[in-house]
Structure 1
Amino acid sequence: MPATDTAIELQRQRTTPPGQDKTTTTDTSTSTSTSTSTSTSTTTTTAPIATAPFSCAAGAITCIEVASTSSQAQASLPVTFGQPFKAGDWLHTTQGLVAQVGGATIPLQADEISSHRDGSARFAVLSAQLSNVQPGEARIINIFPGAKTSSTPNVPASPDWNLELEAQVFDANGNVTATLIAQPQTQLVNQIASNTGRRLAGAVASEYTVALPFKDKASGTQHPHLTARLHTRLVDNGQRIRTDVVMENTRTWTANPGNITYSFAVKRNGSTIYTQPKFTHYHHARWHKVLWTGALAEPQARVRHNMPYFMASKAVWNYDLNVKIAETTLAKDYATLTQARTDQAALGPMGNGLLEKYFPMTGSRSDIGPYPRWTANYLVSQDDRARETMMSVADSAASVPVHYRDEDTGYPLDLDRYPNVSITPEWSTPVLPTVVNGTTIWTPDIAHQASFAYVPYLITGDAFYLDEMMFWTAWNAAVPNPTYRGGGQGLAKDNQIRGQAWAMRALGETVRSLPDNHPRKSYFSGRLGINLDWYAKQYPLNPSAASLYPLNALPKPDEPHLVGPWQSDFFGMVFAQLAENAEPNAKLVLDWASKFNIGRFNSEADGFCTARAAGYYWTIVNAQSAPYTTWRDLYQANYPGEVCSSVTTIDGYPNWAGGYAAGARAMMASAANAGVTNASATYTKWRSLTQAMDQDFATDPTFAIVPR
């Protein structure tokens, strides 16, 4: 059956804005040394980083700032980061990249390249090598196009890695039932020799993904579910090794999946370098921990992107960089994160951190919007605390039981192999194994799903977050009833309109992020194309569209006599982003939907008052179930007898950064950036009517999107 809004869904989804009667209800839903480091969710800020804007050199494509956070000089400082590119800026098939600091060329390599539709680079994982960096020193690395060259890896045949992973498994009574071990050294050596499983390859950094199961220490029997994926990055000729230790309980088809309670330790050459006390690892969930080992200490630095260029790449929505996030907001978020870690210590890596465990929950929702508020905070400020908070949210999302890895392919569950599979057992053919001992703190859904890992991947280039995107996107496709999603097509249409928006957002993010040569690139690209083709045929190309949807309103799937304008605004934001990235049919669908989204703010002369345009739910059909064909009829059906001259207030909380009015502004700006007719002028008009909102963006920039 189509997704439904329950009675509670019709209640308030965010906190009541300042000065608003708290009984009022609404739903915006927007709303020979070894060093170790924690996973990003538990990294402690050690030193301030400069927040002043910085400029790139003339002729550079873009630049980044690398700031030392060490109290010691660093003779060698390798950094790896993600970098989006504007279409046409780097023709990577014929050009290389050159990195310069103060006019001097430094080593740079580019990996994991994803291309725009014109063939130029859209995104790459870059690795650069700095030398003799002084304590607290910040350097600007300018990136230029240059001659195409090769970067030869320098990797030891048998690196001084020698990790051993050990898990002690407990039963329900607290008794140890098994000691499991995983010893990856031999596999890494084999992969180096055979040049397999490598995602980064160059003079600065080489990274291998070493995946292996755990085995019983006594019997050698392989554990059916617990596995490790070690993203192993060798820098400085292997004298430093960064290992992102990813622990997975994600198998799809192995019998009896369920929660596993264990303690965990990582040893190197027999010495313990990390321990995790006993906790319960949820079924179909993951967690990770970053460890640095080797003869040299962990590099100490932070990277800041040239954010105007980052925005101009169209990889993300165009946030207003003139917004200054309030210090009180940054400090409060960080204090809340710190407290959450303390409160959830007993939960171990499966804690929810700042995330709402029950996704359909009403109330304050900093995760709902084009990006979560924490992500918007970071994009606008690049503050260290905002970065750490954003990354912690991405890590918390890994503990949600939506991670289904196909044992046969090694990738998330896909609908090519299983077109009629569903995570919901009663709908699935074949049926997934029954989960035993499977109680978790989570209730995920699509309608309230955030963009968790996309921006974290864009700024870090870490494989963990790329995998996260694939897992969530695959789950979105596999949850609905195959009958309604078109079987293997994986159509998003069976969700609420906001759920359709978020599912399409996840698809777009995954497609844009996956490298051109990734084995799953064509699969996810295909699903995005199938969905966009469906929307085009259902709406703008549908010969019956004019009679079915005369005002181009997207009906509520489970109650087609209603439209939720605020949900349509979400849909418009996502399709605008897809259109800006030249996805076929996205602009066609966006133009069609914008006749309602933009039109309702410009139809006062036709009887629809602009002050009511940021609405909640409206009836769109008459008593005979025939759709209203004029703006005047639509208005009178929902505001009977009202004339515009009598409307003295603007709906949608015009002074609040988290209301429908704010979502409408973000929709208009997004549409303007995608070239929708009259969207820019409508944004200007609506902004003039909602000026107080600008000040509130300093506390919540979730919808602070502006025309480019």
Structure 2
Amino acid sequence: MRLTRRSLAGLGLAGLAPPAALAQAGVVRSVPMPCLAQSGDIVALVLEGSGAPARRVVTFGQVFAPGDLPRGAGLAARLADGGAVPLQADVKLRHADGSARFALLALAAPALAAGAQAGVVLHRGPAVAGAPFTPDLARRSAILHVADQRVDLMAGLRQALQRPTELWQAGPQALQARVMQPMEIGRVTSLRVVADITLTADGGMAIDLWLRNDGAMRPGGGALAYTARLLLDGREALVAELPRHHHYTGWGRLLRSGPPPAFVRPDATYLAEAGAAPRYDLSTGVAATLLEAMGRRVREAEWAPALGPRFVTQQMGRTGGRADIGPMTMPQAAWLQTGDPRAAAFAIGQAEAAGSIPWHFWDSAADRWMDTRRWPQLWTDGRGGAPPGGLAQPIAQDTGWNLASSHQPDLATLPWLLTGRRAFLDELQAQACWCVLGQWPRARGRPGGPGLAEGVNVVRSNQVRGAAWSLRQLDNAAWATPESEPNADWLREVAAANWGWIRQQLPRWTRAQGEAHGWIPGEYGTPGLLPPWQQDYFAAIAAAAARRGSADARAVLDWMTNFLAGRFLMGPQGFAPHDGAAYLLAMQADADARNPLSSWRQIGDATRAASLSNGDGWSKTEGDYAQLALQSLAALIDVTESGAARAAYDWLSRAGAPFTGVADYRRDPLLNIVPRGQPRVPGAMPRCR
């Protein structure tokens, strides 16, 4: 998972400079945020100009920590010099206490030259009901041609505006509505047009246009070829030729009229406090060469085609260095740590590319993503058989993608939260539903059976890394999906049921594991051996869920602390601390997986006997395994305030383990996660201005 030369190639960034040169190159850090100096201040951001005139409206997403924006309170914005900025907030999600969790914001930005920056503070204010502006639709047009068919998107918008309760944004700065229309091209009936159309008070228009060939479980589903052409206000805005649009995939582009709006740089520290992202270290910075390469790649011809993978690994089962797997992807991590538009463009482009992955199963009869409420027996694998056990049209073998839950990236969560593009919410929900429907039914359980998570279990009999990444997707979708979405309740129930099931197993697992308890059982491929780094994957996901309020996930994390911290502290008990970050540990004396070793000394002796031990060195840690251990310990410290986790973190951070220096994190920012108040370069933390 490290950003080695191999994973640089996977991102299309190889050949630019060797890793050592990346570490020596310039460093880009996050710009300072405005200071929060007044009562009611919540969070700051920085606008970066595009050269657009004053009052050009920029729309984006904003997460809020519990209690920061109570129900009934208004949200306002001011510049660093105190001047008010027109702002519209459409709250889409609330915390349990009724305060806002996530809102779509529309801000009329000041005039800023290209690259110029202005700080903005969001603060509580009186609730002001701004009447939605009245757009002049008579002079606007948006015509989509697909094959031999014509779709008048503005006619669909006019109809949507007649249903005010369904508007996605409605206020004095922006109106947004979704236009969705099924299409039949030849014999193929599975295609639908999905267009999120935004009109702004400055006269601008944006269309997030998607062609989704994802209609499932009906006659006529399959691949098709077509040419798509979009005319905005009579001008050609998009032309795309698709020789083969595979079933269960989609593609889309965000198209605008008028000059581009300002770019929004978020406050990554606040996002961590709000539970939206890991606590990335803003002190180290990211190698400038890496950001320059991302900026170059998004301008190249290889980036442009519809349904292109955009350097997302298509053979998901591939192991080794992967910059697209972790709590989030490496470009997303670089985006948070720097706020740089080049990393943002790369991450947003990969979120668009997620549409090309064949894990989208739209239930046209219910207008929702397929889940186990209507399809309790479904297995999307080709071995599912005939409906309702399998898909009516199996996933084609020539899509270019090989799906694997154990190596799935999260391409959409952060882009959804920072941009507010509804298409990315679609991606997040579709993938989360697949995490259950793509799981072998015998492992996920019998629907309606006794116990928690029966029928939706993504942990039992799964690889621990597969369980971690599936829970990551379910948790993120459950936490970030508005209550009005049809799949919202199911997503929350499934995520909660899985954490509840894991918590139920803890007494039994503790009895079996004994003194060294705290590791999640799972399928590892080699009987008797345990990769501790997969436990670090799982701990990071448990910490994210616990930070967001899951008591069950918190209990699981508390339980895991004994193993995660103990592996670095049990030298007096016969377990070499260096082995805490080894690639494999010997956890059983024989091939009987039901009888794990139950003491640190037994595990240490067995690991040495199997020639898996680091001893006093690091020969078995030639990868990102120490980075993974540090980030999980950092999450433990943040969530549980465990003294043992802090002692283990302090020891490992000073132990000289491979790839744990500041230069390593600069060239590979994916796992650059620290405890609260412990930056790696204290004097380099950006200060508010």
Q: If the length of structure 2 is used for normalisation, what is the TM-score? A: 0.87
Distance 1:374 1:58, change over 3 A: same
Equivalent residue number for residue 445 of structure 2: 486
1:637-672, CA deviations, whole angstroms, 9 ceiling, x for partnerless residues?
Answer: 12039999x933135547xxx511111111110111
**SS of residue matched to 1:467:** helix
Distance 1:57 1:201, change over 3 A: same
Worse-superposed segment, 156-165 or 631-640 = 156-165
Equivalent residue number for residue 427 of structure 1: 384
**SS of residue matched to 2:149:** strand
Inter-partner Cα distance in structure 2 for 1:386 and 1:194: 38
- Whether 2:123 is the aligned partner of 1:144: answer yes
Equivalent residue number for residue 556 of structure 2: 589
User: Given the alignment, which residue of 55, 77, 81 partners 2:34?
Assistant: 55
- Whether 2:583 is the aligned partner of 1:616: answer yes
**SS of residue matched to 2:254:** strand
Equivalent residue number for residue 94 of structure 1: 72
Cα deviation, residue 478, structure 1: 0.4
1:274-311, CA deviations, whole angstroms, 9 ceiling, x for partnerless residues?
Answer: 21134422211111112223xxx234311111232223
Equivalent residue number for residue 666 of structure 2: 698
Worse-superposed segment, 632-641 or 580-589 = 632-641
Equivalent residue number for residue 487 of structure 2: 520
Equivalent residue number for residue 17 of structure 2: none
Distance 1:420 1:325, change over 3 A: same
Cα deviation, residue 147, structure 1: 1.9
Whichever residue aligns with residue 491 of structure 1, its letter is N
Cα deviation, residue 465, structure 1: 0.8
Equivalent residue number for residue 277 of structure 1: 241
User: Given the alignment, which residue of 273, 277, 282 partners 1:316?
Assistant: 277
Inter-partner Cα distance in structure 1 for 2:413 and 2:263: 19
Q: Give yes or no for contact 1:669–1:705 (8 Å, CA) kept in 2.
A: yes
Distance 1:651 1:147, change over 3 A: farther
1:454-511, CA deviations, whole angstroms, 9 ceiling, x for partnerless residues?
Answer: 1111211110111110011011110112221024541111421011111111111112
Worse-superposed segment, 264-273 or 411-420 = 264-273
- Whether 2:435 is the aligned partner of 1:470: answer no
Q: Percent identity?
A: 26
- Whether 2:662 is the aligned partner of 1:684: answer no
Inter-partner Cα distance in structure 1 for 2:308 and 2:168: 30
Cα deviation, residue 316, structure 1: 0.5
- Whether 2:100 is the aligned partner of 1:121: answer yes
Distance 1:490 1:643, change over 3 A: closer
- Whether 2:420 is the aligned partner of 1:461: answer yes
Distance 1:55 1:268, change over 3 A: closer
Equivalent residue number for residue 577 of structure 1: 544
Q: Give yes or no for contact 1:422–1:482 (8 Å, CA) kept in 2.
A: yes
Whichever residue aligns with residue 481 of structure 2, its letter is L
Q: Which runs of 5+ in 2 are unaligned?
A: 8-27, 448-454, 677-689
Distance 1:136 1:392, change over 3 A: closer
Worse-superposed segment, 581-590 or 80-89 = 80-89
Cα deviation, residue 374, structure 1: 1.2
Worse-superposed segment, 149-158 or 676-685 = 149-158
Equivalent residue number for residue 64 of structure 1: 45
User: Given the alignment, which residue of 159, 162, 185 partners 2:141?
Assistant: 162
**SS of residue matched to 1:679:** helix
User: Given the alignment, which residue of 211, 217, 232 partners 1:253?
Assistant: 217
1:510-546, CA deviations, whole angstroms, 9 ceiling, x for partnerless residues?
Answer: 122112443332211111111011100112xx35641
Aligned length: 636
Inter-partner Cα distance in structure 2 for 1:477 and 1:617: 28
Equivalent residue number for residue 632 of structure 2: 667
Q: Give yes or no for contact 2:528–2:590 (8 Å, CA) kept in 1.
A: no
Q: Give yes or no for contact 1:69–1:135 (8 Å, CA) kept in 2.
A: yes
Inter-partner Cα distance in structure 1 for 2:548 and 2:250: 31
Worse-superposed segment, 612-621 or 127-136 = 127-136
Q: If the length of structure 1 is used for normalisation, what is the TM-score? A: 0.84
Q: Give yes or no for contact 1:554–1:563 (8 Å, CA) kept in 2.
A: no
Inter-partner Cα distance in structure 2 for 1:281 and 1:624: 47
Structure-to-structure mapping, 1:117-516, within 5 angstroms: 117-133=96-112, 136-156=115-135, 158=137, 160-168=139-147, 179-214=148-183, 224-236=189-201, 239-268=203-232, 271-293=235-257, 297-338=258-299, 341-343=300-302, 348-427=305-384, 430=388, 431-435=390-394, 439-488=398-447, 489-493=455-459, 494-516=461-483
Kindly report the root-mean-square deviation, in angstroms, between the aligned alpha carbons of the 2 structures: 2.7
1:219-250, CA deviations, whole angstroms, 9 ceiling, x for partnerless residues?
Answer: xx89612211110011017x221111111101
Inter-partner Cα distance in structure 2 for 1:588 and 1:706: 22
**SS of residue matched to 2:640:** coil
Inter-partner Cα distance in structure 1 for 2:513 and 2:653: 32
**SS of residue matched to 2:368:** coil
**SS of residue matched to 2:331:** helix
Worse-superposed segment, 673-682 or 420-429 = 420-429
**SS of residue matched to 1:74:** coil
Equivalent residue number for residue 537 of structure 1: 504
Equivalent residue number for residue 63 of structure 2: 84
Worse-superposed segment, 181-190 or 454-463 = 181-190
Q: Give yes or no for contact 1:555–1:562 (8 Å, CA) kept in 2.
A: no
User: Given the alignment, which residue of 588, 607, 621 partners 1:638?
Assistant: 607
Inter-partner Cα distance in structure 2 for 1:153 and 1:498: 47
Distance 1:213 1:661, change over 3 A: same
Inter-partner Cα distance in structure 2 for 1:203 and 1:670: 41
Distance 1:554 1:544, change over 3 A: closer
Distance 1:183 1:14, change over 3 A: same
Q: Give yes or no for contact 1:96–1:147 (8 Å, CA) kept in 2.
A: yes
Cα deviation, residue 413, structure 1: 0.9
Inter-partner Cα distance in structure 1 for 2:227 and 2:437: 32
Cα deviation, residue 411, structure 1: 1.7
Cα deviation, residue 629, structure 1: 1.4
Whichever residue aligns with residue 415 of structure 1, its letter is T
Q: Give yes or no for contact 1:259–1:438 (8 Å, CA) kept in 2.
A: no
Inter-partner Cα distance in structure 2 for 1:160 and 1:467: 31
Q: Give yes or no for contact 2:265–2:340 (8 Å, CA) kept in 1.
A: no
Distance 1:17 1:130, change over 3 A: closer
- Whether 2:511 is the aligned partner of 1:546: answer yes
Q: Give yes or no for contact 1:15–1:363 (8 Å, CA) kept in 2.
A: no
Inter-partner Cα distance in structure 2 for 1:17 and 1:246: 32
Inter-partner Cα distance in structure 2 for 1:643 and 1:401: 39
Distance 1:551 1:706, change over 3 A: same
Equivalent residue number for residue 627 of structure 1: 596
- Whether 2:530 is the aligned partner of 1:563: answer yes
Q: Which runs of 5+ in 1 are unaligned?
A: 1-11, 19-48, 169-178
Inter-partner Cα distance in structure 2 for 1:250 and 1:80: 28
Q: Give yes or no for contact 1:259–1:283 (8 Å, CA) kept in 2.
A: yes
Cα deviation, residue 369, structure 1: 1.8
Cα deviation, residue 375, structure 1: 1.2
Inter-partner Cα distance in structure 1 for 2:395 and 2:610: 58
Cα deviation, residue 52, structure 1: 3.1
**SS of residue matched to 1:166:** strand
Equivalent residue number for residue 41 of structure 1: none
Cα deviation, residue 95, structure 1: 1.2
**SS of residue matched to 2:661:** helix
Whichever residue aligns with residue 375 of structure 1, its letter is Q
Inter-partner Cα distance in structure 2 for 1:131 and 1:604: 60
Worse-superposed segment, 133-142 or 368-377 = 133-142
